[in-house]
């Protein structure tokens, strides 16, 4: 069949390629059957709509007739949106890693007609460049190997398939020891850039799970280097060019070691994780900068990222008018024309110069003036930013990827629920509830199963473990931070049972359901990717459900998953950060029960303390607790509202004043005895 078949898809990424001269097929049985019938290998290209280098390879190769002709002659070409099909992306990213190559997007993999990988890479230039071979040369050589060197083909195919199967092997070596948390934090601290924040070197990613692990180490130990590593990181991220100083929101990563020059795409999942981390840091530091960035980022989400129906859209692109960053960057002349005699003062703060700070233009940033300015000057600069934003709104905007992903929505719903609770913002909670309602209605089947993606009125792809894990987390966040509405807890429990029914293995959970499309391997691991690992998230979810319900079944499941993936700790601590944070929660949860009618003062105390391991029981009646809970039956004291702080099966004495309650919480979060 000699045509491009992407026009009928709903993914913005796939639709970007519908007019390519390449005969693209969407992933599916028909494409695999065509490969088998034709005897051609498969060229699998995986990317996403906001990916800059995906656009580059598309413009250079996929839109070029001569290159497309070679692709069409030699391969069956399949295009996949990694956000729609993270299950496919995960398998072939792992295959590339087994080849000893750094993963990323675009992912370019070469497969047998059965979908088994035998070679691959990421971006290939059209001609030899950057130490990479030209794409046509690669295509011709791969075709020659496939048809003419069966020994090499089989060696690669069998080796990669065995390697992928090996990644699924149960690696449990018993329950982790608590000491692994301090060991991991100490190890990670040694890799941090203590001047600019983040990991040493470039590029720099806002690896929120890692930074949260260090933050947890500070709260647990009180050791300042852990705190400083996180606050220096957040200060630089918040003041760097990775942050959109006019419109709010953070780009996916910085290409340099200073957080100055991003690839300008904004992803929902990064911003959700940064809102959560900044909220935790603000609770401890009270830093005005963190609160401002949270407010501005949430404003951006509610202004620009709400899709039809109330769910949150996936991303905004890096490019506009075919130029990376054009929407976001400025020349000095433009700023002078807009701000007039205020341009010099603005430029001194935001690094504006005639020659620019990136490819001849300016990325606004405050890395040179990170400390707050006098109030009057900050107010003036805010007025300047508003003028520039108004002008920027007249520019041609980057592509908006408006597909709604259940797992990414779960991340943002939970972050908004927590931030709304801490900052007393019912409007934020309302937006979180609207997105939650969209997922539970429009993205849920009649039998209660989640679907992964929704766009243009079409819901697709059986929900994966990530979808369930993040939406369970969202439901529990709404439950704890609201009025204890039972429907949120009930839904979390229902989803947990769906996970047990459709994802359970002998140990841990598969990433795809038992009735989903069969791929070459059914993946199961606790490794983080750009988003937190689903198995790691499920461990915390199950432990939290155990605390909230008192049902030992949830605790048993959490412990089984902890054991299932513990063997990976000896191989790669960096890959198991969500798992480690979940272990910290399971080991050191701080349970807060406030019994009595006058709860507001005690709740205000909880809001002002950074408690990543906190479990807040929303009921004012301790009789609502499970009979197995250590605070069961403990109520008000002499008619006064009393708070109880519990760790494991031990609870503090009743706290009837806020200062003693605060002190008890601070002791409990350190994991110290004495609650």
State the CATH number of the domain containing residue 406.
Answer: 1.50.10.10
Work out the angle at residue 121's Cα, subtended by the Cα atoms of residues 49 and 1, and round it to the nearest 5 degrees.
Answer: 65
Task: Supply the range of the domain harboring residue 384.
Answer: 328-392
Tokens of 465: 């473990």
Of 532, 557, 587, the position where a domain reaches its end is: 587
230 and 266 both lie in a single domain: yes
Q: Establish if 173 belongs to a structural domain.
A: no
280 and 341 both lie in a single domain: no
Of 339, 365, 392, the position where a domain reaches its end is: 392
300 and 410 both lie in a single domain: yes
Of 520, 553, 587, the position where a domain reaches its end is: 587
581 and 593 both lie in a single domain: no
In degrees to the nearest 10, what's the CA dihedral of 555, 558, 563, 564?
Answer: 140
Q: Establish if 541 belongs to a structural domain.
A: yes
239 and 297 both lie in a single domain: yes
CB 396 within 8 A of CB 321: yes
Q: Establish if 174 belongs to a structural domain.
A: no
Q: How far apart are CA 118 and CA 120, in angstroms?
A: 7
252 and 228 both lie in a single domain: yes
Q: Establish if 172 belongs to a structural domain.
A: no
Confidence (pTM)? 0.95
Closest CA to 211 of 281, 305, 260: 281
365 and 404 both lie in a single domain: no
Q: How far apart are CA 523 and CA 90, in angstroms?
A: 8
If 0-12 CB within 10 Å is exposed, 13-18 middle and 19+ buried, where does residue 116 land?
middle
Q: Establish if 2 belongs to a structural domain.
A: no
Q: Establish if 344 belongs to a structural domain.
A: yes
Q: How far apart are CA 656 and CA 654, in angstroms?
A: 6
Closest CA to 589 of 565, 560, 558: 558
Closest CA to 566 of 637, 648, 508: 508
94 and 184 both lie in a single domain: no
Closest CA to 396 of 460, 323, 465, 446: 323
Per-residue pLDDT, 672: 59
Q: Establish if 5 belongs to a structural domain.
A: no
Sorted by sequence, the CB contacts under 8 Å of residue 273 that are 6+ apart come out as 206, 208, 209, 411, 415, 532
381 and 343 both lie in a single domain: yes
Per-residue pLDDT, 622: 65
56 and 144 both lie in a single domain: yes
Sorted by sequence, the CB contacts under 8 Å of residue 629 that are 6+ apart come out as 550, 591, 593, 646
232 and 262 both lie in a single domain: yes
CB 595 within 8 A of CB 661: no
Per-residue pLDDT, 552: 94
Number of domains in the chain: 4
Per-residue pLDDT, 588: 95
Q: Establish if 6 belongs to a structural domain.
A: no
The ranges of the chain with pLDDT < 50 are 674-675
DSSP for 579-597, written as a single string? HHHHHHHHHH-EEEEEESS
In degrees to the nearest 10, what's the CA dihedral of 470, 419, 50, 31?
Answer: 10
CATH code where residue 18 lies: 3.40.30.10
Q: How would you list the strands of the sheet with 451-455, edge to edge?
A: 266-267, 313-316, 400-405, 451-455, 458-462
441 and 362 both lie in a single domain: no
């Amino acid at each position: 069949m000699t045509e491009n078949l992407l026009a009928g898809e709903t993914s913005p990424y796939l639709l970007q390629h519908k007019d390519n001269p390449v005969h693209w097929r969407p992933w599916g049985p028909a494409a695999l059957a065509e490969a088998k019938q034709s005897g051609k290998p498969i060229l699998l290209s995986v990317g996403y709509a906001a990916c800059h280098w995906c656009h580059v390879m598309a413009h250079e190769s996929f839109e070029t007739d001569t290159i497309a002709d070679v692709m069409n002659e030699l391969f069956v070409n399949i295009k996949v949106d990694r956000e729609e099909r993270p299950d496919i992306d995960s398998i072939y990213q792992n295959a590339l890693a087994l080849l000893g190559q750094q993963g990323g997007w675009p992912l370019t993999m070469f497969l047998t007609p059965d979908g088994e990988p035998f070679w691959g890479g990421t971006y290939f230039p059209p001609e030899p460049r950057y130490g990479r071979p030209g794409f046509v040369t690669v295509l011709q050589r791969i075709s020659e190997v496939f048809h003419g060197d069966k020994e090499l083909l089989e060696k690669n195919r069998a080796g990669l398939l065995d390697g992928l199967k090996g990644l699924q092997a149960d690696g449990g070596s018993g329950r982790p020891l608590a000491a692994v948390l301090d060991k991991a934090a100490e190890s990670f601290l040694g890799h941090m850039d203590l001047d600019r924040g983040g990991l040493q070197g470039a590029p720099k990613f806002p690896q929120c799970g890692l930074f949260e692990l260090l933050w947890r180490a500070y709260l647990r130990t009180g050791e300042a280097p852990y705190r400083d590593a996180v606050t220096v990181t957040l200060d630089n991220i918040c003041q760097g060019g990775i942050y959109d100083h006019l419109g709010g929101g953070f780009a996916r990563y910085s290409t340099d070691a200073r957080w100055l020059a991003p690839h300008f795409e904004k992803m929902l999942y990064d911003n959700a994780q940064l809102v959560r981390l900044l909220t935790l840091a603000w609770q401890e530091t009270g830093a005005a900068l963190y609160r401002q960035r949270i407010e501005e980022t949430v404003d951006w989400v509610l202004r620009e990222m709400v899709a039809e129906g109330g769910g949150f859209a996936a991303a905004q692109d890096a490019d506009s008018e075919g130029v990376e960053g054009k929407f976001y960057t400025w020349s000095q002349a433009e700023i002078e024309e807009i701000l007039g005699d205020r341009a010099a003062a603005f430029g001194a703060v935001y690094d504006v110069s005639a020659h620019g700070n990136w490819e001849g233009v300016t990325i606004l940033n405050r890395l040179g003036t990170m400390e707050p300015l006098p109030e009057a000057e900050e107010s003036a600069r805010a007025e300047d930013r508003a003028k520039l934003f108004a002008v920027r709104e007249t520019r041609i905007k980057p592509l908006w990827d408006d597909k709604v992903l259940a797992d990414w929505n779960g991340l943002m719903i939970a972050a908004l629920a927590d931030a709304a609770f801490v900052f007393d913002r019912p409007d934020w909670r309302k937006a979180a509830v609207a997105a939650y309602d969209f997922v539970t209605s429009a993205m849920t089947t009649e039998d209660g199963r989640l679907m992964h993606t929704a766009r243009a009125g079409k819901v697709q792809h059986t929900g994966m473990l990530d979808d369930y894990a993040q939406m369970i987390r969202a439901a529990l966040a709404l439950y704890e931070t609201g009025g204890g509405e039972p429907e949120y807890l009930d839904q979390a429990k229902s989803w947990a049972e769906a996970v047990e029914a459709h994802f359970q293995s002998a140990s841990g959970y598969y990433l795809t359901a038992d009735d989903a499309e069969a791929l070459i391997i059914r993946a199961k691991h606790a490794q983080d990717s750009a988003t937190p690992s689903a198995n790691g998230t499920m461990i915390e979810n199950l432990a939290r459900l155990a605390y909230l319900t008192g049902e030992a079944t949830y605790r048993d499941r959490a412990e089984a998953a902890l054991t299932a993936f513990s063997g990976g700790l000896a191989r790669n601590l960096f890959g198991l950060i969500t798992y480690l944070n979940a272990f910290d929660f399971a080991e050191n949860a701080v349970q807060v029960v406030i019994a009595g009618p006058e709860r507001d003062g005690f709740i205000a105390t909880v809001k002002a303390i950074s408690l990543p391991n906190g479990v807040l029981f929303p009921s004012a009646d301790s009789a609502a607790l499970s009979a197995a809970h250590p605070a069961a039956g403990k109520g008000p004291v002499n008619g006064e509202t009393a708070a109880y702080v519990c760790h494991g099966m031990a609870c503090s004495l009743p706290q009837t004043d806020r200062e003693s309650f605060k002190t008890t919480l601070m002791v409990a979060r350190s994991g110290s005895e004495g609650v």
